[in-house]
């Protein structure tokens, strides 16, 4: 190792690419702290900075023989570190967007069973209130709202005037609104 202390970067890179592990160690020792400070400054996080530098050196080790470095070694390592940081930041943003959408989805799914229960309760309550209407009014209302018959069809079917049908439906709606208002406020 001491034999490589005064070897320049270009020769260290050549030795490393020829399989000299001591050359890799010399490069690592020379640049790790510099790259870490650079990554730490960009990321504002010690652990993430260490991880990025480690990933750069891991890539550097794994692809040693395939790398065709045309820039100075320091520039290559700084650029690799910066690119890895940018990838990480981009990934973090994607992850944050995914997590936000997942939280929204989970909130919707969590609310769904509760809202189904409330809807069923409301439907039962409405049906109970309809059943408590006076018989003639209930018959007119159910023909209008449940069977979707027109006022004319209801008047012909029940042998009453159109005005009576309209009045009965309006009265039924008024009674239902009054009785269900407090229940609906709860929802």
DSSP 39-99: HHHHH--HHHHHHHHHHHHHHHHHTTTT----S-HHHHHHHHHHHHHHHHHHHHHHHHHHH
Range of the domain at 145: 132-186
Looking at every residue in the chain, the average pLDDT score rounds to 84
Do 88 and 15 share a domain, yes or no? yes
Q: Are residues 68 and 144 in the same domain?
A: no
Same domain, 72 and 14: yes
The candidate with the shortest Cα–Cα distance to 3, out of 15, 73, 57, is 15
Average pLDDT over residues 7-11: 83
Higher pLDDT, 16 or 36: 36
Dump pLDDT digits (tens) for 110-168. Answer: 656 666 777 788 888 888 888 998 999 999 888 888 888 888 998 998 899 989 989 99
Do 84 and 147 fall within a single domain? no
39 shares its domain with 93 = yes
Burial state string for 148-175 with b = 16 or more CB within 10 A and e = fewer than 16: ebebeebbeeeeeeeeebeebbeebeeb
Q: Which two tokens stand for residue 169?
A: 């439906």
CATH number of the domain to which 43 belongs: 1.10.1740.10
Backbone angles phi, psi at 44, to 5 degrees: 60, 35
- The verdict on 170 and 92 lying in the same domain is no
pTM of the model: 0.51
69 & 138 share domain: no
Residues 165, 166, 172, 178, Cα dihedral to 10° = -170
* Total of domains in the chain: 2
Q: Does some domain include residue 53? A: yes
23 and 92 in a single domain? The answer is yes
Are residues 17 and 76 located together in one domain of the fold?
A: yes
Task: Convert the pLDDT of each residue in 22-49 to its tens digit.
Answer: 888 998 999 999 999 999 998 888 999 9
68 is a domain residue? yes
Place 109 in a pLDDT band, splitting at 50, 70 and 90. Answer: low
């Amino acid at each position: 190792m001491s034999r490589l202390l005064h070897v320049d970067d270009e020769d260290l890179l050549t030795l490393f690419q020829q399989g000299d592990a001591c050359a890799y160690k010399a490069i690592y020792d020379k640049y790790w702290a510099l790259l870490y400070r650079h990554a730490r400054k960009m990321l504002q996080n010690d652990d993430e900075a260490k991880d990025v530098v480690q990933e750069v050196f891991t890539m550097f080790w794994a692809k040693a023989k395939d790398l065709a470095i045309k820039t100075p070694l320091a520039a290559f390592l700084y650029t690799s570190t910066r690119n890895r940081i940018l990838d990480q930041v981009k990934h973090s943003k994607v992850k944050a967007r995914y997590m936000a959408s997942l939280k929204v989805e989970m909130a919707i799914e969590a609310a769904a069973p509760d809202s189904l229960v409330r809807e069923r309760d409301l439907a039962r309550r409405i049906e109970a209130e309809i059943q408590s209407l006076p018989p003639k009014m209930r018959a007119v209302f159910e023909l209008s709202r449940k069977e979707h018959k027109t006022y004319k069809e209801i008047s012909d079917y029940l042998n009453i005037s159109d005005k009576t049908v309209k009045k009965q439906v309006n009265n039924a709606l008024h009674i239902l609104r009054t009785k269900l208002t407090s229940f609906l406020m709860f929802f």
